[in-house]
Chains A and B, each alone.
Chain A
Amino acid sequence: MALLEIDNLTVSFYTSEGVVTAVDDLSYTIDAGEKFGVVGESGAGKSVTALSLLRLIESPGEIESGSIRFCDPDTVEELEESYPEHVVDVGELRRESDFANVIERLEDRGVSGLDVTGNPEHETADLPRLRADGELGIRDVIDQGYASELGLIGEEDFIVHDGDTSYVELLRAPEPAVRRLRGNNIAMIFQDAQTALNPVYTVGEQIAEAIRHHLDYGDEEAKQRGIELLDTVGIPDAENRYTDYPHEFSGGMQQRAVIAMALSCDPDVIIADEPTTALDVTTEAKILELLEELTDEFDTAVQLITHDLGVVAELCDRVMVMYAGQPVEKSPVEELYYDPKHPYTVGLMSSIPRIGDDRDRLQTIPGTMPDLIETPSGCSFHPRCPYAEEICKQKEPRLVEFDDVESGTRSAKCLEYTGDLEDGIGYTVTVEDDHTPTEYVSSEHHE
């Protein structure tokens, strides 16, 4: 099991103009120690995704459905000790419940294969078939949140045990339990350090408070650790700077301090939300380097959110490209660069700035992100897609998996891959490695 598994997450905002579905049926996983990039223009739902992981979506926003599973054995064990009454034993359920009956009741509710396995290819599959194929088990029913609806488990049962694996379902966990994970297991680096730091408390105090709270350190110990952390993130004269206020730090130092804050309780995963947008290019490079170095050193997984594919290339192992609240392409970073599968990804790539190129980055994809109250019909990218055809306005593409990839899986959400396009998508990717350009021509024509 991955460290973090997000399944069918949907987050909506109830605004006066209508319901905005900021994140729509999103699924992805992050392994322990992995660097995972989430890319897209602003408004693609990246930050909402990040805050959902911490369950910090505030009114008028609401996490409508889905599952966020966190699986760090030590943490699960600790929580289990505090909440013994909220533990589900899947093995026991498997033995005691009548699964055929569960499936029947699911069908009665009109639950589709996609709903309960999260796999787009199961959209139209019938449930007994999936079960017979071993694609659907009781774990899926629990993970997708149907188990409590069906009365198999309690409303608040959030710790799940299945043989050797165990995990915490964040979306069902009580607030105090989530609070124990925030900052401690899942930490966040905010976009703009200047606004993320409280102006009236010293930088040191803002690092130390989390240490005292989560790790039960005394004042002196917490201070010592705070100073060490500041030193680790490269603040010179950390001992003295510890008592500085945020406004006495430069922008780059503030961002370093925020990184120190995120690292303070040695988390399992750090969510970095555009950690360098507020900084100049030189500082940006240094901060990214620092982030990479430290997360490698502490073996911390990272979810890096950015609009800049260049930043992803530098830091990440895998990447998910988001458009209008949905993933349009998931891929290992290398493959994505050599062979982007989705037209939007291609658009983003041609907007990576190069030295000596001062084109406005976002101009290269004509148009803007649709307003999410009325997402375009069919493929939500069609108004901007250079390869859009009539069918794209009608049929919503599904994420299609590619199996031919050596490292990990890839998927893209374009009708091209379900054979629905007449003309196919054609673009050329030029990769310049060591100044010897090689050309790669992608699916010029659809046979």
Chain B
Amino acid sequence: MSLQKYILRRVLTSIPVLFGVSVVTFGIMHAAPGDVVSQMVAANPNVPPGESVRLREEFGLNDPIWVQYLDWMQGIFTGDFGEVYSSSRSADTIVMARLPETLLLGAFGWVFAILIAVPGGIYAAVNKDELGDDVSRFAALSGISIPNFWLGLMLMAIFAVQLDLFPTLDPQTGLLSREMLWWLILPGVTIGTAASANMMRIMRTSMAEELNKEYVTAARAKGLPERTVILKHVLRNSLISVTTVAAFLTASLVSGSVVVEVVFAWPGLGRELVEAIQLREINLLMAITLLTGAVVVLANLLADIVYALLDPRIRDEY
């Protein structure tokens, strides 16, 4: 099977997954007490009593749940993600407006994670059981155990408030402006830390394992410099298992972004998601969930492709 066919198959199999995600999310939202109207009323005590009945009728909230779901589904197929009731805007407009910010944050976190994890893991594996390895293992363990929000608050308290190196508020400039990128650093580091720590551990383990293999001795026996042995022969083999984990970590990066965006007031989808849950804005919530699911599926697909690029044996299996 060619790689193209494989990709097509993966895309098709992701459809039922996304469908499942949508059903579960939809169900949970409905099972939770209260709805968008009750939240609107709670926020605005001046709403006349009859109004909430009218609104529920208008939004179709009195229909049986499966009818509501089918309505929503019908919208999806026509590219309509539904309305955000409290602001009368369409869900996809909001998502599209916030998406770049979140992508930028995620991408920064990713790059940060890889830049730390890969060299760190290589260093730790090559100096296994020495001081540098211990230090990096301690760092990795800390990175994994420290909660996101705490790390974010600490970074903000130290670097933004105390040292005044970074802004604490949205500079309100264009997405790729210097100010914005500068502001991005703290939340980006926060979100990348856990992923980086996880990846570094995997990198170390898999590299240490590869270093024991005979092809390494064989490469050394050829008289190649140690740098070539490590960075050419061992690295590529070690990256194979790191790739698998990296894809898996995308999901945690996505969920991490929710907390980080709230802590740093980063104007992305994560913050929007929290708001959607609070206001029971089901359409917005569904749109964000679907998108997130699609991103995770895509990340796995990317990982598979990278996997195939790294390892010729996998390539043959497609």
Residues in B with CB closer than 8 Å to A197 are 215, 218
Pair B217/A51 contact, Cβ less than 8 Å: yes
Bound: A98/B233 CA distance, A:
51
Known: A198-B237, A199-B237, A199-B312. A179 touches B218 (CB 8 A): no
Residues in B with CB closer than 8 Å to A258 are 218
In the assembled complex, A54 has its CB within 8 A of some CB on chain B: yes
Pair A54/B310 contact, Cβ less than 8 Å: no
Pair B223/A213 contact, Cβ less than 8 Å: yes
* Contact code string A189-210 (vs B, CB < 8 Å = 1, else 0): 0101001111111000000011
Closest to B221 in A: A188
Bound: A245/B214 CA distance, A:
17
In the assembled complex, B313 has its CB within 8 A of some CB on chain A: yes
Pair B215/A214 contact, Cβ less than 8 Å: no
In the assembled complex, B236 has its CB within 8 A of some CB on chain A: yes
In the assembled complex, B316 has its CB within 8 A of some CB on chain A: yes
Residues in B with CB closer than 8 Å to A188 are 218, 221
Within the complex, which residue of A195, A199, A210, A248 is in contact with B222, where a contact is CB–CB below 8 Å?
A210
Pair B221/A56 contact, Cβ less than 8 Å: yes
Pair B311/A182 contact, Cβ less than 8 Å: no
In the assembled complex, A247 has its CB within 8 A of some CB on chain B: yes
B229 → A minimal CB distance (Å): 10
Pair B220/A182 contact, Cβ less than 8 Å: yes
* Chain A interface, number of residues (Cβ within 8 angstroms): 29
Pair B237/A214 contact, Cβ less than 8 Å: no
In the assembled complex, A291 has its CB within 8 A of some CB on chain B: no
Residues in B with CB closer than 8 Å to A201 are 232-233, 236
A-B interface pairs (CB < 8 A), number: 77
Pair A200/B222 contact, Cβ less than 8 Å: no
In the assembled complex, A129 has its CB within 8 A of some CB on chain B: no
In the assembled complex, B224 has its CB within 8 A of some CB on chain A: yes
Residues in B with CB closer than 8 Å to A56 are 217, 220-221
In the assembled complex, B225 has its CB within 8 A of some CB on chain A: yes
Pair B221/A187 contact, Cβ less than 8 Å: yes
Residues in A with CB closer than 8 Å to B312 are 199-200, 245, 247
B240 → A minimal CB distance (Å): 8
In the assembled complex, A90 has its CB within 8 A of some CB on chain B: no
Bound: A179/B225 CA distance, A:
7
Pair B223/A179 contact, Cβ less than 8 Å: yes
Within the complex, which residue of A180, A192, A213 is in contact with B214, where a contact is CB–CB below 8 Å?
A192
* Contact code string B198-237 (vs A, CB < 8 Å = 1, else 0): 0000000000000001110111111111001000110011
Bound: A181/B224 CA distance, A:
10
Pair A190/B214 contact, Cβ less than 8 Å: yes
Bound: A144/B223 CA distance, A:
26
Closest to B309 in A: A200
Residues in A with CB closer than 8 Å to B217 are 51, 56, 190, 196
Given pairs A182-B220, A209-B224, 15 additional interface contacts (CB within 8 A)? A54-B220, A179-B224, A184-B223, A188-B218, A190-B218, A192-B214, A196-B218, A197-B215, A199-B237, A199-B312, A200-B236, A209-B228, A213-B228, A248-B316, A261-B222
Counting from the closest, the 8 A-B pairs by CB-CB distance are: A182-B223, A183-B223, A183-B222, A195-B214, A245-B312, A196-B218, A198-B215, A210-B222
Which B residues lie at the A interface, using CB under 8 A?
A: 213-215, 217-225, 228, 232-233, 236-237, 240, 310-313, 316
Which A residues lie at the B interface, using CB under 8 A?
A: 51, 54, 56, 179-184, 187-188, 190, 192, 195-201, 209-210, 213-214, 245, 247-248, 258, 261
